[in-house]
Structure 1
């Protein structure tokens, strides 16, 4: 019998486990018969072995057929069948073309073979042979289903363990940014919530003596593909900013655009990444982003956006000032290598509130009309709660966002940043 507990407790990698679970691991000992056995003798064998579903028929050590218990008993129960066939060879009621698989065949290939052969193999079982095609034992559909199920569960476990660890790595990349934000700002929030365990949103902050640089990025995709892109961006951002370029967010966007396009080969129309000899797939990955330099000494801010706006709520004013970004994303194939984003300078006064968000909140479908949450609703909520601390404002927005989403599927990662100038 199969030792399923060994699969449950295994700490090996999936490839190692799959290499252990081959056709031989499904093999059961079974009584066998030969063409010389009569149908009466087969009835006796089946009566003595009630666990047997398929009874192999061998000739000189080679399997020539398989007798199904149910079919055989039904045939022998028909009128006059025992009188006619009882003393004749059992091959009269055997399946002459059972599924035969080599002992080294992978479980995946065995399952494909079983599916191709139809439902009868799941019921009857299949013959397992050695390299010389000699009979070794029999496999059952029940055992095959069990192993496939356990391997699938093990695969899911290993994938989830990897994703959980990847989440730890992704969060660790943002830890220093959180530390810099906390040291530079008194009243702020930074909410980062991937749709899945890991995500395609990323934020970066680096402090300097006279201010700080903040970047909020929405990379292509979400989940594992998006997380891979954030790691690429994180590696670039970590070496991007120097004392001489920290005040130029547009220049930083241009520089990272060139780095992304070069790294991913998104430079010319001839760029293709071969996936299959007869297929080609073009890489078209990048990010939408908002980069800001906050000059705390001189009370001003420089903003550059790649398809991402900046929301400003001046102290004492009744409404927002929305500063739109440029209409090109970073790194994509339709963004020129030398594309130049635009810096926009915003004067800051004490109490001014600044907000950045990726499109996870704005684009979320929900509400009675099943429409997007939208920028207008976001700004109305912030206006309603403007006298609260920034953390309380964030909590109020997210509470409304979750209620608005309701039973709708989450569309994207959510990243939301805000601070009050002091």
Structure 2
């Protein structure tokens, strides 16, 4: 087997330094070359569990990136591993990754990342010196570096947040497009309280069904947006053809990974005397097989609502009462899969708590689940787009002059 080596680069700047160029985001990462086989690349990914994308370099010339999840999903298909095992790894390579010169400013880099779309967030970007390969950077480090710039220059704060908003929207756009292609009558409503938000959603279509998720991270605004990057990256790394069919198991794996990432094991402070965060996420994960009319749901403090034709009330499936990643959630906590068969003409809904927790009305109390279910039942016979409009209009009317409390994400589809 051809050996692979980590790229030799200078250490990252200290926490007090302000990275200003693409070269400041370089990280150590293994590389592949076009002579290496698919089997050898699989071994690299196996040996480096934290690597989300593998650069392919010919001599000193970067020629592409291999995305871990796409690579693993392709090899999981019947006979793919046998067919491609001894063939060049370039068969699974993105031949047009985001390439940036080391002297590119972070402001320009953020704009380039928006133009490149979600792959710049999932795969990262390649940093070059002229045509020569230097290393790679990650979308998360780019977001973190932008935050550092925001803290030092007030003028760049809003510019960077606007860029972050574009990045966040570009990450969600492919899922919205996949929903449109895979689902018939459906809607997805995503409305951050501020320019960026702590809610996001995920969708993945497979031959026999689809995986969908509505996720509410701690906080809103910029802190919430950073949490979405951590959670989205974790979900991208863990989600595969098997885990999407086991929503409860996927929540458990995310819980452990998030706790490790945020250092949320043990007491109130770490050994280095830095205070622990108490951050995490609430979520509704579901696997649906429309042909079999089978639904598997697991929730972390996020319910699922089902409205069937002819039924007088909306069915509410409550998730488990623990969120993902928080300090009081045990590492071995097990969420529960709830499986059911959907009747003909069922409407399924999942929402973050931004709707039900909103204060409003004459009594200035929460909107509540009961009011949401009444709206669903009243409008369930209408196309999903009209249902979305009716629910959101009622929500805004109820809110009135009250301040928005949180981000709002609402998913609905008819089976």
Do the two structures share a fold, i.e. TM-score over 0.5?
A: yes
Distance 1:15 1:247 in 2: 41
Contact kept in structure 1, 2:303 and 2:350, CA below 8 Å: yes
Kindly provide the CA deviation profile for residues 264-305 of structure 1, in whole angstroms up to 9, marking residues without a partner as x. 11112264386xxxx742211100000000012311100000
Q: Give the deviation of 1:163 after TM superposition.
A: 0.2
* Corresponding position of 2:180: 182
Q: Give the deviation of 1:245 after TM superposition.
A: 2.2
2:330 is aligned with 1:332 = no
* Corresponding position of 1:39: none
In structure 1, runs of 5+ residues without a counterpart are 1-13, 17-151
Distance 1:407 1:252 in 2: 40
Which secondary structure does the structure 2 equivalent of 1:361 belong to?
coil
Contact kept in structure 1, 2:243 and 2:249, CA below 8 Å: yes
Contact kept in structure 2, 1:273 and 1:281, CA below 8 Å: no
Alignment equivalent of 2:225, drawn from 224, 227, 243: 227
Q: Give the deviation of 1:239 after TM superposition.
A: 2.2
Q: How many residues align?
A: 268
* Corresponding position of 2:351: 357
2:142 is aligned with 1:160 = no
Distance 1:411 1:176 in 2: 28
Contact kept in structure 2, 1:202 and 1:216, CA below 8 Å: yes
Contact kept in structure 2, 1:291 and 1:305, CA below 8 Å: yes
1:298-317 to 2 correspondence within 5 Å?
A: 298-317=292-311
* Corresponding position of 2:84: none
Q: Give the deviation of 1:349 after TM superposition.
A: 2.3
Contact kept in structure 2, 1:288 and 1:307, CA below 8 Å: yes
Distance 2:19 2:317 in 1: 52
Kindly provide the CA deviation profile for residues 150-195 of structure 1, in whole angstroms up to 9, marking residues without a partner as x. xx9x944310000000001111111121122111111000000000
* Corresponding position of 2:56: none
Which secondary structure does the structure 2 equivalent of 1:303 belong to?
strand
Alignment equivalent of 1:381, drawn from 365, 375, 385: 375
* Corresponding position of 1:216: 214
Alignment equivalent of 1:268, drawn from 250, 266, 269: 266
1:8-157 to 2 correspondence within 5 Å?
A: 155-157=153-155
1:265-304 to 2 correspondence within 5 Å?
A: 265-269=263-267, 271-272=269-270, 280-304=274-298
* Corresponding position of 1:409: 403
Contact kept in structure 2, 1:199 and 1:223, CA below 8 Å: yes
Contact kept in structure 2, 1:306 and 1:327, CA below 8 Å: yes
Distance 2:327 2:19 in 1: 36
Distance 1:245 1:405 in 2: 38
Contact kept in structure 2, 1:265 and 1:271, CA below 8 Å: no
Which secondary structure does the structure 1 equivalent of 2:382 belong to?
coil
Which secondary structure does the structure 1 equivalent of 2:370 belong to?
helix
2:338 is aligned with 1:344 = yes
Contact kept in structure 1, 2:215 and 2:282, CA below 8 Å: yes
Contact kept in structure 1, 2:263 and 2:276, CA below 8 Å: no
* Corresponding position of 1:198: 196
* Corresponding position of 2:65: none
Distance 1:418 1:270 in 2: 39
Distance 1:271 1:156 in 2: 32
Change (3 A) 1:176 1:265: same
Q: Give the deviation of 1:403 after TM superposition.
A: 0.9
Which secondary structure does the structure 1 equivalent of 2:313 belong to?
coil
Which secondary structure does the structure 1 equivalent of 2:396 belong to?
helix
Stretches of 4+ aligned residues off by more than 4 angstroms: none
Contact kept in structure 2, 1:199 and 1:227, CA below 8 Å: yes
* Corresponding position of 1:367: 361
Distance 2:170 2:280 in 1: 22
TM-score with structure 1 setting the length = 0.61
